Structure 1
Amino acid sequence: MGHKGTLKVIVVRGKKLKDEDAIGKSDPYCELWIKKDYKQRTSTKKGTCDPEWNETFTFNVDGDHHLYLRVLDDDIVSDDKIGEAKVDLNEVYKAKYISTDVKLPALLGLTNHGFVQLILEFSPH
């Protein structure tokens, strides 16, 4: 039962993003992938914990189960990870359209490092 088609992902915004290593504001960007060898990323938003991205990405899907996302703090030395999460695509295949706040769980999931609001649209081929 493979779902083939196009997955459109709109990265709307981040909320209350928190980088453990940074003091004060972050310069966050978001990386997205379904398969490791094809990562897409948003632009970097300077000096904010609540970035507004409103950027759209398209993936071809063929029975894939998850969309992975990672939010990083753009840093000169090395980019610090703010958090990562995966989104179950089965709901999107069923509903064709969902808007969701994806939590970025911290270690052990006891606290979280904010949310990313995504809109996902699936168009079967």
Structure 2
Amino acid sequence: YPHALFALHNPTPPPPLTPLFPDLSTCPFLPFPSLSLSLLKPTHSLACTGMATKVASTKAPSPDIGRVTVTVLKGRELIAADTFGKSDPYCTLVCRPSSWELVKTQVVRSTVSPEWNESFSFESPDPEHDYIEINVFDYDKLGKHDHLGVVAVPVSAVMRRTDGAFERWFSLLPSLVPGKPVLKSHGDLRIRLEYSGPKSHGNL
């Protein structure tokens, strides 16, 4: 964290950062390419303002901060990373760039069509730019867990809906690096998103 070290020795704020991707409106990995987003906007703050919790939490949400609830329902035709054509899949979720706190589902053993039905709630202080990143891994007791795929869903896609919710299948990609070719199918995730809190103009 070079900016954190900079602040310790120099009270003057560091120079502005240059966005890695100033315009992601045409990036192929986004499920809603028509939206004009700057997902990786520059920031000098190292504070993780978003908090991910299980939906069962009794903490009352702030009315001034958006909240998105993500339910990972199930997967289909995931990559078989283990012997005998199976995997032990689980998902990790994070709301970027407002938070870097990672949460994860349970591991479902010996299947390429897992069912999780697990919900997580994230604070989204900046729903116009926040997005939910979901990675799927194959759990291995020994060694590195195999990466099976990833999907990114902009919070604004659900925030702008009049009903504040939608559910659909998302195709997993090998990476979120723009322009990286997809050489084979990585399977799909069935995800439901619900948004509550402040909304921008132009709701669908």
- 1:15 corresponds in structure 2 to 76
| Equivalent residue for 1:44, pick from 95, 107, 111 | 107
Letter in 1 for 2:168: T
TM-score (norm 2): 0.56
Matched with 1:104 is 172
Alpha-carbon distance in structure 2 between the residues aligned to 1:119 and 1:70? 15
State the one-letter code of the partner of 2:132: L
For the residues of structure 1 that align with 2:111 and 2:82, how far apart are their CA atoms? 12
Find the partner of 1:75 among 140, 148, 173.
140
Q: SS of 2:187's equivalent?
A: strand
Q: Distance in 2 between matches of 1:75 and 1:60?
A: 31
2:54 is equivalent to residue 54 of structure 1: no
Tell me by how many angstroms 1:98 deviates.
0.9
Partner of 2:93: 32
CA distance in 2, matches of 1:110, 1:100: 23
- Cα distance, 1:65 vs structure 2: 2.6
Deviation at 1:53, TM superposition (A): 0.3
Q: Which whole-Å CA distance do the structure 2 matches of 1:47 and 1:88 have between them? A: 31
Q: Which amino acid aligns with 1:62?
A: P
Q: Which residue of 2 is the match for residue 120 of structure 1?
A: 193
**Aligned pairs, number:** 122
Q: Report if the CA contact (8 A) 2:68-2:155 is conserved.
A: no
- The answer as to whether partners of 1:30 and 1:69 remain within 8 angstroms in 2 is yes
Per-residue deviation at 1:5? 1.3
Q: Quick check: which one's strand share is greater?
A: 1
Residue 82 of structure 2 aligns with an amino acid whose one-letter code is A
Q: Which residue of 1 aligns with 2:59?
A: none
Q: Give unmatched runs, 5+ long, in structure 2.
A: 1-63, 175-179, 199-204
Q: Percent identity?
A: 30
Higher RCO (CA-CA < 8 Å; seq separation 6+): 1
The offset of 1:80, in angstroms, is: 0.4
Is the contact between residue 87 and residue 102 of structure 1 (CA under 8 Å) also seen in structure 2? no
1:3-45 per-position Cα deviation (integer Å, ceiling 9, x unaligned): 93111111000111104x4331000000000136201100000
Distance 1:90 1:111 in 2: 29
Show the counterpart of 1:93: 159
